[in-house]
Amino acid sequence: MNSFLLRRMNLRFCARFAQIVLGVLVLEMPVPPLRAQESVSPESTIRLRYQKTETMIPMRDGTKLHTTVFSPRDTTRTYPILMKRTPYACAPYGADSYPASLGPSEHFVKAGYIFVNQDVRGRFMSEGTFQQVTPHIANKKSPTDVDESSDTYDTISWLIKNSPNHNGRVGMFGISYPGFYCSAGMIDAHPALRAVSPQAPVGDWYFDDFLHNGAFFLAHAYRWLNNNAQERTGPTTERPTPEVLSSNDGYNLFLDAMTIEEINRRHLKGKVPFWSEMMAHPNRDEFWKKREILPHLKNVAPAVMVVTGWYDAEDLYGSFKTYQTIERQNPSINNVLVVGPWIHGGWASGDGDKLGAVPFGSKTGAFYRAEIEFPFFEKYLKDAEHSAPAEATVFETGSNTWRTFDHWPPNEVSVKEYFARERGALSTEAPNGIDDLSFDEFVSDPAKPVPYTEAITNRMTVEYMVEDQRFAARRGDVMVYQTEPLESDLVFAGPLDVDLWVSTTGTDADFVVKLIDVQPDGTNPATLPNYQMMVRSEVIRGRFRNSFELPAAFEPGVPAKVHIELLDILHRFKKGHRIMIQVQSTWFPLIDRNPQTFVPNIYLAKPEDFQKATHRILRSAKHPTHIRMGVLPK
């Protein structure tokens, strides 16, 4: 008998002996039954239930892609295949090395699927040459015409022929870059591909991730490219070693480097070829156009679920544009949208109950994984008794409620406009009269740019999208316009866009617009008094106000309209709150600095090109700066 049982018997004997000797009536406390180990590692569970094999699957041009297959050990029934294609490695490598997770969530491991992970062409253990956001070839004429669509098709063909115990159905999922491979893989889809979920997918890299309307997202691009875009010399299981920044103070670090060229030389040390490629293409030329996947989203899989988060700082553009494009180009398929209060990929593993200081009232991530994502794949890959998701399942921020719609944006919205007015007012009443000189102005100094966050960091933080904006509102180079306290709730739904009327003493400028929910001051401890919660924000490089292909200088002192698309929201501004917009010209180091002097290639600007400029925000009847949105009926 082991020592643990002996100790238990001794304890019981001593307790009973004390009762008898002392003559005291004591209720005997129950001894918990012997239990197995309290917690079992996820890796052990997967190892117990699944058999791992690694193989090299040949593509039509002869290139072989490293593929890992996890098949259920129970072979008494058939299973669907659920696949993820990734540039981020199918680690851990080796037939006897098992990961801690499989598939989108633990629900899938318990339910039983054949899980397939694949290193895309040119990454880690796969053969071939890697291309960033592989251009799609619409009219393939020979076996050498390969792209991510053909590689997905060839992989599925091989799996259907060579994987035992499958039910003939395949699903795909992936977040961010793997979301892009989902989008590419469902073009001219293989007949076995029945359900695809591109989650935060890249849609067009000139508007996603590293570039937003031509403005370079410096802090994000630096970190991601440094970690993921160094050249590979051959098949490997190892990640490259990134260059380590010398300080966490990204504001001073990047400001001290002064130019984009110097950042590359000093910090990246020239180890990231794609950084240099980007710098050679500041305009939306063929280099960028051929990497846009959206026009090619045709003949896609029968069921698609696009997933994103309101606070996705990386691929919000790609998510909404992917959903909208599939709707337009594939009207007969079941294409649905899910949007929660999440950061980039936050729905996959986190609780999703808060972000920074902003609570969301429930564990939205767990709810999504159990009640939306899992039933979606179960329905289309197993014919399980689940209803199809609503056309749009969307979390309403501000009130912390899930809502469903049969169309997105909702059909019942009405358009409302708010105008910048005198003394920092934001009003539904448009300027009138003949006064053409109404404006607010500020000096933008590239040597003292507006920080994008109060945090001391050298990266793009996830919290910045809901961060309190009072630190910016107090600066003289940030224009602030706000309404009076609302007399009743107001729900904005669908796309947001802004028409800025501006003039400048310089010849170039960036413009940033932020929509903000200003919470009231008060004594309720559950509220954040006067908190300026950012709801949505976006930037445009002013030289691209007329065309992203053909940049144009500003003519000093001449009014110009700058249109900015802020993408979609579903947000309730509650009674007593204020609606605010902030307008500024720098947002550092989230975006690189505009020299405010028009140069042919802004990435090659020299230190002497960076000049102060005075920008005006015009708000007259002739030049009415305003924000436009859809409003749901009360």
- To the nearest whole number, what is the mean pLDDT of the chain? 93
- 10 Å CB burial of residue 91 (0-12, 13-18, 19+) is middle
The pLDDT of residue 475 is above 60? yes
Phi, psi of 215 (to 5 degrees): -85, 135
The pLDDT of residue 358 is above 60? yes
Query: What is the pLDDT, as a whole number, of residue 395?
Result: 98
pLDDT in tens, 303-357: 999 999 999 999 999 999 999 999 999 999 999 999 999 999 999 999 999 999 9
pLDDT in tens, 212-244: 999 999 999 999 999 999 989 999 999 999 999
The pLDDT of residue 523 is above 80? no
Query: What is the pLDDT, as a whole number, of residue 528?
Result: 81
The pLDDT of residue 36 is above 70? no
Query: What is the pLDDT, as a whole number, of residue 301?
Result: 81
The pLDDT of residue 537 is above 90? yes
Assigned fold of 63-204+299-405: Rossmann fold (3.40.50)
The pLDDT of residue 37 is above 50? no
Query: What is the pLDDT, as a whole number, of residue 634?
Result: 78
Query: What is the pLDDT, as a whole number, of residue 529?
Result: 87
Query: What is the pLDDT, as a whole number, of residue 439?
Result: 97
When pLDDT is averaged across residues 568-579 and rounded to a whole number, the result is: 97
Reported as a pLDDT band with limits 50, 70 and 90, residue 16 is: very low
The pLDDT of residue 163 is above 80? yes
When pLDDT is averaged across residues 571-590 and rounded to a whole number, the result is: 98
Reported as a pLDDT band with limits 50, 70 and 90, residue 257 is: very high
pTM score = 0.92
Q: Which residues of 37-64 are buried (b: 16+ CB within 10 A; e: fewer)?
A: eeeeeeeebbbebbebeeeebebbeebb
The pLDDT of residue 29 is above 60? no
When pLDDT is averaged across residues 95-115 and rounded to a whole number, the result is: 97
Nearest to 545 by CA among 502, 481, 602, 605: 502
Query: What is the pLDDT, as a whole number, of residue 524?
Result: 62
The pLDDT of residue 32 is above 70? no
| Class of the CATH domain delimited by 211-289 | mainly alpha
The pLDDT of residue 12 is above 60? no
Reported as a pLDDT band with limits 50, 70 and 90, residue 40 is: confident
Which residue's structure tokens are 């947002």? 587
Q: What percent of the chain has pLDDT over 70?
A: 93
Query: What is the pLDDT, as a whole number, of residue 627?
Result: 98
The pLDDT of residue 113 is above 90? yes
The pLDDT of residue 180 is above 70? yes
When pLDDT is averaged across residues 395-406 and rounded to a whole number, the result is: 98
Q: What DSSP element (H or E) covers 306?
A: strand 303-311
Higher pLDDT: 491 or 19? It is 491
When pLDDT is averaged across residues 576-584 and rounded to a whole number, the result is: 97
Domain boundaries, the chain: 1-32, 63-204+299-405, 211-289, 414-631
Report the chain's C-alpha Rg in angstroms: 28
Q: What DSSP element (H or E) covers 173?
A: strand 166-175
Which residue's structure tokens are 């002192």? 557
Q: With contact defined as beta carbons under 8 Å apart, do 537 and 518 qualify?
A: no
Q: With contact defined as beta carbons under 8 Å apart, do 418 and 483 qualify?
A: yes
Query: What is the pLDDT, as a whole number, of residue 5?
Result: 37
Q: With contact defined as beta carbons under 8 Å apart, do 538 and 317 qualify?
A: no
Query: What is the pLDDT, as a whole number, of residue 15?
Result: 41
Reported as a pLDDT band with limits 50, 70 and 90, residue 33 is: very low
Strands (E), 317-438: 334-343, 354-355, 358-359, 392-396, 401-405, 414-420, 426-427
For the domain bounded by 414-631, which CATH number is listed?
A: 2.60.120.260
Count of CB atoms situated within 10 Å of the CB of 498: 23
Reported as a pLDDT band with limits 50, 70 and 90, residue 22 is: very low
Higher pLDDT: 10 or 552? It is 552
What token pair was written down for 332?
Answer: 């007969």
Query: What is the pLDDT, as a whole number, of residue 484?
Result: 98
User: Which string of DSSP letters, residue by residue, matches 429-482?
Assistant: SPP-SS----EEEEEE-TTSPPBS-SS--SS--SGGGG-BTHHHHTSTTEEEEE
When pLDDT is averaged across residues 42-48 and rounded to a whole number, the result is: 95
CA torsion angle 252 256 260 263 (round to 10): -90
Query: What is the pLDDT, as a whole number, of residue 223?
Result: 96
Rounded distance between C-alpha atoms, residue 493 and residue 348, angstroms: 25
In this structure, which amino acid lies at residue 561?
K
Query: What is the pLDDT, as a whole number, of residue 335?
Result: 98
What token pair was written down for 306?
Answer: 């696009």
When pLDDT is averaged across residues 491-508 and rounded to a whole number, the result is: 98
Reported as a pLDDT band with limits 50, 70 and 90, residue 437 is: confident
